[in-house]
Amino acid sequence: MKPEKSKRKPGRPKASESPGTMTQLLRTASFLFMEHGYEKVSLETVAQTCGVTKASVYYYFSNKAVLFTEALLFVLKMAYDQTAAVIEGPGTLKERLQEVARRHMRNQHVDFETMMREAATDLNEEQIRTVREREADIHRLLERVFAKAMDEGEMKRSDPLLLSHAFVAMMTVRNRNEIVNDVRTAGQAAEEIVQLIWVGIAPPHS
């Protein structure tokens, strides 16, 4: 009687694939989704770009909605960590805001809200809630920094959460060719945005 063969999970990655395959898939998927949007990216596209089998993608992510959700959580966590490192680091608040804006605006990609609308019919309520919570983490981080600056007299008193949302929203102009182009770089636009927030729109001595 022949010994029973060990059962292999369907879609299990090939032995040649490294333990870091899942992270590689998340990095690749997040780039593709942010570059092309939800509708134009398939699991097969992610597999081909990573140089793995489609079965390997299904092993880690049961469907496109799951992969999309995990990829967004992955990229939003990176964005949070990078923003926190700068905004809570050394330098004046204005200098830190300029660096945050420069880094953010160097990464041109599909509008986040457009991408979420494309994916809305495939995502369940829990997936949408989880993504929105991770997105809100960045707003809350900036809110805390603005509130502290107001308490210390470095900024005039206003609604810090509103200011946080306004700051992030203004940086979406990076995708507008009439704003960021050969004449005005993303870095220059970032500095102008921070300057606009910093001094407001009122004329001098108004």
User: Domain for residue 172, yes or no?
Assistant: yes
- What's 170's domain CATH number? 1.10.357.10
User: Domain for residue 69, yes or no?
Assistant: yes
CB 72 within 8 A of CB 30: yes
User: Domain for residue 125, yes or no?
Assistant: yes
User: Domain for residue 25, yes or no?
Assistant: no
CB 191 within 8 A of CB 98: yes
User: Domain for residue 179, yes or no?
Assistant: yes
pLDDT value at residue 19: 56
Q: How many domains does the chain have?
A: 1
Q: What is the pTM of this model?
A: 0.83
Instruction: Give me the domain span that covers residue 117.
Output: 64-199
User: Domain for residue 191, yes or no?
Assistant: yes
- pLDDT tens profile 44-94: 999 999 999 999 999 999 999 999 999 999 999 999 999 999 999 999 999
User: Averaged over 27-43, what is the pLDDT?
Assistant: 94
Least confident of 8-22, 57-71, 144-158, 161-175: 8-22
pLDDT bracket for residue 6 (50, 70, 90): very low
User: Domain for residue 157, yes or no?
Assistant: yes
User: Domain for residue 7, yes or no?
Assistant: no
- pLDDT tens profile 52-65: 999 999 999 999 99
